[in-house]
Structure 1
Amino acid sequence: MPDLTRAIYTTLSERLKAHQQAGLLRQLKATGDLVDFCSNDYLGFARSIELKTLIQQADTSYEVGRTGATGSRLLAGQMTLADDVEQELAVFYQTEAALIFNSGYDANLGLLACLPKAGDTLLTDELIHASMIDGARLSYATRQRFRHNDLDDLEDKLRQASGQVFVAVESVYSMDGDIAPLREMADLCDRYGAALLVDEAHATGVYGPTGEGLVVELGLQERVFARLHTFGKAVGVHGAAIVGPALLRNYLINFARPFIYTTALPPHSFLAICCAHQQLRSQVHAKNQLHERLTYFKYLVKDKLAGTTWTNSQSPIQCLIMPGNDSARYVAAEAQCAGFDVRAILSPTVPVGQERLRICVHAFNTTQEITELITLLQTALVNEPSL
């Protein structure tokens, strides 16, 4: 092995070893047959036999003629099917246009990197998704973070902003499960002439009359410049779309590098996206059942786990604060041994002292499963060595 290559191997090994010694080493782990209190499959669509059948039927009936896109959509990858699905998404999300990306990460990266330009200002909530952070880093705009959901801090920064101003937030935050004050943020953006960008990844399918997201539920679709909807969470398939004005769609086609230079999704994915949104329309009961299960979960927490600390979440993402990586790991391991797929979120992913169990409630979780999980947590918290 050449000396230079050996040096690289040594450096990487040392970094991994340090990560492991700090208790931060990540590993891929199959979930097995544990009861799911971990995934973002809020409505159970990813495991839906009905949706699977719809997609198979669509694959059979739609004559595409190829299994792969073979190129980006600006080259060989463009299909009439893609345009048809995007038009359906625009109707579903009550806006002018939609543009599909291969993932929510790609969409956020492309949107924030290309929209604000040099001389502009990009204001981001301090807890936005990593994909939005990475997109902001690629932008030539001046970026400032404001305190999480803090309207006063946001207004202070809006007053000082220069150029065209963009405000990027999530509607439902993935680590705390709390909800952004979107009405008030829209009011501030209107007052200061800023464009509001909302990541609806964890609201898609969960809020709105048939799962259109929190922006539609609040009637703000005309006041939000761009929304991101991902399809790998509650929608149960793959891909994402940015929805908004037709002008925005045309702009992204020309300037969003993750769209321009990525091989397009295969026809199967476009068909799956279409079928999943048909299911959202026809199975509103899944969304209603999800919120019923969430209400039951929160009732049991209040009744059985008094004195514990939880994030201020109104969403299916429920987080039990367990300060210290070891404490969070211990309780998560106890839950997994008892058959529940519950994961610990450790620092530095969250701030030191804010380590937690991130528990996702689903429409398919039974009341018995929820009761048994809460009972398990009662026991594990009593027996946790550092408590």
Structure 2
Amino acid sequence: MKQLPTSLSEKLLQRKAGNALRKLTETDNSVDFSSNDYLGFAGSSEIFNAAHHYLLDNRIAVNGATGSRLISGNHSLYAKAEETICNYHKAESALIFNSGYDANVGLFSSVPQKGDIVLYDEYIHASIRDGMRLSLAKAYKFAHNDLSDLERLLEKFTGEGNMGELYIVTESVFSMDGDSPDLTAMIAMSEKYKANLIVDEAHALGVFGAKGEGLIQSLGLKDKVFARVMTFGKGLGCHGAAILGCSQLREYLLNFARSFIYTTALPPHSLATIITAYDFMANNPERQKSLKNSVSFFRSEVERLKLKSFIYSDSAIHCVVVPGNEKVKNVALVLQQEGFGVKPILSPTVPEGQERLRFCLHSYTTREQVIQVLELLTAHLSS
């Protein structure tokens, strides 16, 4: 078999030299502090069985979608799933994509046009960055959650004139820090400068809101944003994503978003699972309450143990900065050898010097598990 080109082999060697080479590992039975399954839906036999019976009750016995939604894959469950999503999130329209990555690539590659300006948080997700690279618009980053830096850019570009639309892009919960921007102030700023605000709610769905509807909706701001991106592979424990916005945005995306147009649609079982997961989230508020209790207890233990390098978070994601790929991997290995599934986040995923351990909390996380893992972490960091 033909070998990898030398230039690509050298890139792999550089990753190895920086102790940053990624490898696949099988899941194990360690205590889960790494998955995005915040409410435990991914492992729910109730949701699994309910989705199966939903298909049987609707006489759907199909394994695949057979094509893109614009050709042969727009089966009847899409309308039901998108109606469910719209009702839950009080949105005018919803368009389902195969994943959060596909949704962001489709949105940001097709909506911002030549002459438009996109201002994005420097910690924005890679899928949004990839979408922006495919766009003809110019994109500029602002310092993480720094509204003064954002306003500096807004003043600069509105002052220059002769431009198209302005877009501001952020996440309601950032995946690498677990923190959130001041969304109320950001919306006020977007209105002041006539900008379109787009918010990725991937890590807020299921975590924030009276029924897990996300942070924007829980703050009463849903009608003031241009688009919300809801990803189902985290809090809902299934697969797919949806872009929420006005009906014209939906029509535009299904005409111009290439990651929607040129891919085989999700199979019926994925749609049945999405519908079932939303229903389960609405009717099982104790899951979200348990998650909130886990978050509160985790934060109290961080304070008790005087762990200073943790980034403040109200979400299910909590990170402690341990600079250096080698050091953070070694600390993670100690925790893993004691049965705790804590994963290191290495550079270049995060900036060099900002490597960290990320603790993902869940509705099924116990107090004993939190105490044990944080005391073990404290002992190792202080040794």
Alignment correspondent of 2:70: 74
Cα distance in structure 1, aligned partners of 2:326 and 2:13: 18
Matches for 1:207-218 after TM superposition, within 5 Å: 207-218=208-219
Query: How much does 1:12 deviate?
Result: 3.1
User: 1:290-333: CA deviations, max 9, x gaps?
Assistant: 011111011011102x1531112221110011111222111100
Alignment of 1:303-322 (within 5 A): 303-304=304-305, 306-322=306-322
Deviations 1:234-259 (A, max 9, x none): 10000000011111111101111100
Q: 1:288 to 1:181 in 2, by over 3 A?
A: same
Q: Distance in 1 between matches of 2:72 and 2:126?
A: 31
In the TM superposition, what is the alpha-carbon distance from 1:59 to its structure 2 partner? Answer: 2.5
Question: Does 277-286 or 63-72 show the bigger shift?
Answer: 63-72
| Structure 2 residue aligned with 1:139 | 135
Q: How does 1:162-173 map to 2 (within 5 A)?
A: 162-173=163-174
Distance between the aligned counterparts of 1:352 and 1:323, measured in 2?
A: 8
Query: Where does residue 239 of structure 1 map in the other structure?
Result: 240
Alignment of 1:34-113 (within 5 A): 34-113=30-109
Opposite residue 286 of structure 2, the aligned amino acid is: H
CA distance in 2: counterparts of 1:212 and 1:17, whole angstroms: 44
2:222 is paired with a residue whose SS is coil
**SS at the partner of 2:370?**
helix
For 2:105 and 2:368, the matched residues in 1 are separated by 41
Q: Shift in Å at residue 56 of structure 1?
A: 1.8
1:374 matched residue in structure 2:
374
Shift of 1:155: 1.2
Asked if 1 retains the 8 angstrom alpha-carbon contact of 2:52 and 2:269, the reply is no
CA distance in 2, matches of 1:126, 1:196: 16
- Report deviation, 1:382: 2.7
Deviation at 1:216, TM superposition (A): 0.4
Kindly report structure 1 stretches of 4+ aligned residues shifted beyond 4 Å. none
TM-superposed CA distance for 1:49, in Å, is 1.8
3-state secondary structure, aligned to 1:52: helix
| Partner secondary structure for residue 38 of structure 1 | coil
Q: Deviations over 1:1-32 (max 9, x none)?
A: 7xxx55x4433333222321221111101121
**Unmatched tracts of structure 2, length 5 or more:** 158-162
Q: For 1:126 and 1:153, locate their aligned partners in 2 and report how far apart those are by CA, in whole Å.
A: 11
Determine the C-alpha separation between the residues in 1 that align with 2:209 and 2:308: 31
Query: 1:49 is matched by which residue type in structure 2?
Result: S
1:354-369 mapped onto 2 (5 Å cutoff): 354-369=354-369
In 2, the alpha carbon distance for the partners of 1:316 and 1:309 equals 17
| Aligned residue number for residue 225 of structure 1 | 226
CA distance in 1, matches of 2:10, 2:223: 52
Shift of 1:208: 1.1
Which letter maps to 1:31?
T
AA at the equivalent of 1:341: G
2:332·2:343 contact (CA, 8 Å) conserved in 1?
yes
Using the TM superposition, give the Cα deviation of residue 163 of structure 1 relative to its aligned residue in structure 2, in angstroms: 1.4
Partner of 1:194: 195
SS at match of 1:222: helix
Contact 2:307 / 2:378 at 8 angstroms: preserved in 1?
no
The equivalent of 2:160 in structure 1 is none
Q: Report % sequence identity.
A: 46
Q: Does 1:269 align with 2:273?
A: no
Aligned partner of residue 186 in structure 1, secondary structure: helix
1: CA distance, partners of 2:353 / 2:211: 38
1:349 match: 349
1:268/1:307 Cα in 2 relative to 1: closer, same or farther (>3 Å)?
closer
**How far apart, CA to CA, are the structure 2 residues paired with 1:67 and 1:31?**
26
Q: Counterpart in 2 of 1:278?
A: 279
SS of alignment partner, residue 47 of structure 1 = coil
Provide the secondary structure at the position in 1 that maps to 2:309. Answer: coil
* Contact 1:31–1:341 (Cα < 8 Å) also in 2: no
Structure 1 Cα separation of the partners of residues 171 and 10 of structure 2: 36
In structure 2, do the counterparts of structure 1 residues 263 and 307 end up closer, same or farther at CA, with 3 Å as the change threshold? closer
Contact 1:124 1:146 in 2 (8 A): yes
How many residue pairs match? The answer is: 378
Code of the residue aligned with 2:40 in structure 1: it is G
Residue aligned with 1:29, SS: coil
Name the counterpart of 1:184.
185
The 1:307/1:295 distance shift into structure 2, 3 A limit, reads closer
Aligned residue for 1:249?
A: 250
Within 2, Cα distance between the matches of 1:195 and 1:12?
40
Displacement of 1:265 in angstroms is 0.3
Per the TM alignment, residue 90 of structure 1 is displaced from its structure 2 partner at its CA by 0.5
Per the TM alignment, residue 65 of structure 1 is displaced from its structure 2 partner at its CA by 4.6
Q: Alpha-carbon deviation of 1:61?
A: 1.6
- Letter of the 2:370 partner, please give it: I
Check conservation: 1:101, 1:240, Cα contact below 8 A.
yes
Over 3 Å counting, the alpha-carbon distance change for 1:253 and 1:241 in structure 2 is: same
Judging changes above 3 Å, is the alpha-carbon distance between structure 1 residues 307 and 361 closer, same or farther for their aligned structure 2 residues? closer
Amino acid at match of 2:288: K
